[in-house]
Structure 1
Amino acid sequence: MGVDAPLGDFGDVLYYSALAIYILAMLLHAMEHGLLRRAAPEEIEAPVPAAVGASSGGTGTGPTTTDVTDRPEAPARRPLSERFGRMGVSLTVLGFALHLAMLVVRGVAAGRPPWGNMYEFTAAVCLVGVGAWLVVLFRRPELRRLGVFVLLPVILLMFLGGTVLYTQTAPVVPALRSYWLVIHVSAAVISSGILLFAGVASVLYLLRASHDSSGRMAWTTRLPAAHVLDRVAYRATAVAFPIWTFAVICGAIWAEAAWGRYWGWDPKETTAFIAWVVYAGYLHARSTAGWRGRKAAVVNVVGLAVMVFNLFFVNLVVTGLHSYAGVG
C-alpha cells in the first residue's frame, strides 16, 4: 500500500496544533495556580456579623437575622482562578481531540498502525497520558490543579518528538510488518502513557510531602493532599502494570517469531524487564510490606526514570536489535 504524503503532512499540522493547544491549556492552569497563591491570605473565613437589632439593645429597630436570611441571594460567581482552570480543561479536551485525529490521519496515510517509529510512538504515549489525566479528572474534578504538571512533560515529549524524533510518513521496515505491531506496541503505548501520569503524581507527592513536613508555606500547598496524590499514583500504576506485563510477554513471543528466540538480553528487552521488576516491587511492597508515602513514591519515580531511559537512551544511543525503531 502506498503512502499518502499530503495526508501525512496534514497529520503533522494536527500534531503541532495539538501541541499549541496544550501549551495554552498549561498556561491557563499556571494562571490558576498563580491566582490561588495570591488569594491564599484572604481565604480565611470572615466572622458572620451579628444582627443589627441585637447590637442595638434588642429594640427590634434594625433588621433581624431572619430578615437577612430571607432575602434572595445572588448566585455566587466562580473565582477567577476556577474560570482559568475550567478553560484550561476545555482546551486540554480540544488538544486531545486534535492529538487523536493526528494519529488516525497518520495511520491512514501510512496504511499501518500509527506507532511505527519513535515520533509516532512518543505521540501515542503522550495521547494516552493526557487521556488518563482526563479520565481521572472526570471522576475527581477537584484534582484539576494537577493539570499544569501533567501537561508539562507531555509538552516536552511532544516538542522533542516534533523536532529531534520527527520522521516523515513512510512504511515500516520489514521486521515490523507483523500483526504483533498492533498487539505488542499498542500495549506498550497504553501502559507507558498511564505510567507517565502515575510518575508525575508520585513526583508531586514527594514535593507536597516535603513541604508538609517542613511546615513552610509554598506553592505545593495548592496541590491536593499528599495522601490523595499517593493514592492516585498507586491506582494508576495498578491499572498500567498488567498491561505492561502483557506487552513484555508479547514482545518475547514476537522475538521468537522474528529472531528465533524468546529472550536475548537485547538492551531494550533488558531495560523493559528492569522497569517491570521496579513496578512489580512497587506494587508488592505496598500490598505486603505496607509501604506508603515517600518510600513507595521514590520507587515509582525510579520506574518512570527507567521507562524514559528505555525510550530515549536505549533507542537513540545503544545499538541493538531494536535500533530500527529509532529516528529515520
Structure 2
Amino acid sequence: MVVDAQLGQWGDWLFGSALAVYVLAMVLHAVEHGLLRRPEAATEQARVPVAAAGAAGTGTPGTPGTDTPATTDDGGPARPPRSRAERFGRMGVSLTVLGFGLHLAMLVVRGFAAQRVPWGNMYEFTAAICLVAVGAWLVVLRRRPELRRLGVFVLLPVIVLMFLAGTVLYTRTAPVVPALRSYWLTIHVSAAVIASGILLLAGVASCLYLLRAAHETNPARLAWTSRLPGADVLDRVAYRATALAFPIWTFAVITGAIWAEAAWGRYWGWDPKETTAFVAWVVYAGYLHARSTAGWRGRRAAVINVVGFAVMIFNLFFVNLVVTGLHSYAGVG
C-alpha cells in the first residue's frame, strides 16, 4: 500500500487550520456570552422603554414614543436590529461551519493519502470524534438557534481534544498494522466514532445542566450561568443526544465482539478496552433508565450522564495509552 506523504502533509495543514478557526469561533462565542445580559436585568430594562412609549402618546410610525410599530417598505413589520451579542454569536457560528468544512476535508485528504478509512490511529480517531461532535452541535443549532450561547462550552472540549491529538497523539500518515486491515475497521470504529462524538455533546449539556440547576436553586451561586438556557432545556439536549447515541454505541460494542471473534477466536475476553466500553454502556443504560423514572430525573440523572462521559474520556486516553491489552497496538476500536 503506497502512502502519499505530500497529501498527508496537506491533511496536517488542514487540521491545524481547522483548529485555529475553532479557537477563533470559541473566542467570538465567549464575547457573545460576555455581552449577554442576565435575564432578570434585561427584563427590568425592557419595562422602562415600554412605559415611556405609553406615556409619550402618539408620534410618527416607527419612531420612539409611538404606539404604531415600525414597518418596512412592503408594509410588513420591521425586523428589530441585531444586538452586539447576536452579531458576535452569528460570526462564531459562521466560523464554526468553516472550521467543520476544513476539519472534514482533513479527514478526507488523510484517507486518500493513506488509502484507507481515516481513523486508523489515535490521532485520526480523536479528530473524527471531534468532527462528529461539531457536526452534531451544528445540527442542534439548525433546529434551535437560541442555543447558540452554548457554543463556547461545546467548542472548548473539542479544541482541547484536537490540541492533544495534534501534539501528544500525532502520527504521520501510514498504513495500519495487518491486524486492522479488515472491513470491521470501517464498521466497528465508525460506530464508535459517531457515538463518542454525540456523547461528547451530551456530556457537555449535562455538565452545564448541573451548573445551571445549582444557580436556580441558589441564585447567589454561579451568577454567570444565568446567561445559559434553562436547566430543563439543557436536560432535554443531553437526553436526546444520549438517546440517539446509545443504540449506535450498542452496535459498536456488538460489532467489536464479532471482530474479536474473527481476530482472536473469542467474542469477549474482558480485555481492558472491552471492559471499559461495557462499563460505559451500562452507565448510559442506567442514565436512560433513570431519565425515564420520575424519582431519578434532574440532578441524579445528569450526574450519571457526566459519569458516563468521564468513562468515555478514560476509555479514550488512559485505556488506549497506559493500560496494556490486546487493543494496545491499535489505539482505537
* Fold shared per TM-score above 0.5: yes
Q: Which of 52, 66, 72 is the aligned partner of 1:68? A: 66
- The equivalent residue for 2:11 is 11
For normalisation by structure 1, the TM-score amounts to: 0.92
Does the C-alpha gap of structure 1 residues 109 and 240 become closer, same or farther in structure 2, counting only changes over 3 Å?
Answer: same
- The equivalent residue for 2:280 is 275
Following superposition, the deviation at residue 215 of structure 1 comes to: 1.9
Please show how residues 88-237 of structure 1 align to structure 2 within 5 Å: 88-216=92-220, 218-237=223-242
Deviates more, 1:36-45 or 1:231-240: 36-45
- The equivalent residue for 2:74 is none
The alignment status of 1:238 with 2:236, answered yes or no, reads no
Whether contact under 8 Å (2:38, 2:226) holds in the other structure is no
Q: Report SS of the residue matched to 2:66.
A: helix
Instruction: Give distance in 2, aligned partners of 1:84 and 1:52.
Output: 34
Instruction: Give distance in 1, aligned partners of 2:280 and 2:259.
Output: 19
Gaps of 5+ in 1: 54-61
Cα deviation digits, residues 154-201 of structure 1 (max 9, x gap): 000000000000000000000100000000000000000000000000
Following superposition, the deviation at residue 291 of structure 1 comes to: 2.3
For normalisation by structure 2, the TM-score amounts to: 0.91
- The equivalent residue for 1:28 is 28
Instruction: Give distance in 1, aligned partners of 2:43 and 2:7.
Output: 52
RMSD: 2.1
Cα deviation digits, residues 46-94 of structure 1 (max 9, x gap): 14224456xxxxxxxx859999334745752200000000000000000
Deviates more, 1:139-148 or 1:32-41: 32-41
Gaps of 5+ in 2: 72-77
Instruction: Give distance in 1, aligned partners of 2:184 and 2:217.
Output: 48
Q: Report SS of the residue matched to 1:114.
A: coil
| Number of residue pairs matched by the alignment | 319
Q: Which of 222, 243, 250 is the aligned partner of 2:255? A: 250
- The equivalent residue for 2:326 is 321
Following superposition, the deviation at residue 284 of structure 1 comes to: 1.4
Bigger radius of gyration: 1
Does the C-alpha gap of structure 1 residues 160 and 69 become closer, same or farther in structure 2, counting only changes over 3 Å?
Answer: same
Runs of 4+ in 1 over 4 A off after TM superposition: 37-40, 62-67, 70-75
Whether contact under 8 Å (2:196, 2:312) holds in the other structure is yes
Instruction: Give distance in 2, aligned partners of 1:80 and 1:65.
Output: 25
Which residue identity does 2:174 align to in structure 1?
A
Does the C-alpha gap of structure 1 residues 259 and 137 become closer, same or farther in structure 2, counting only changes over 3 Å?
Answer: same
- The equivalent residue for 2:86 is 82
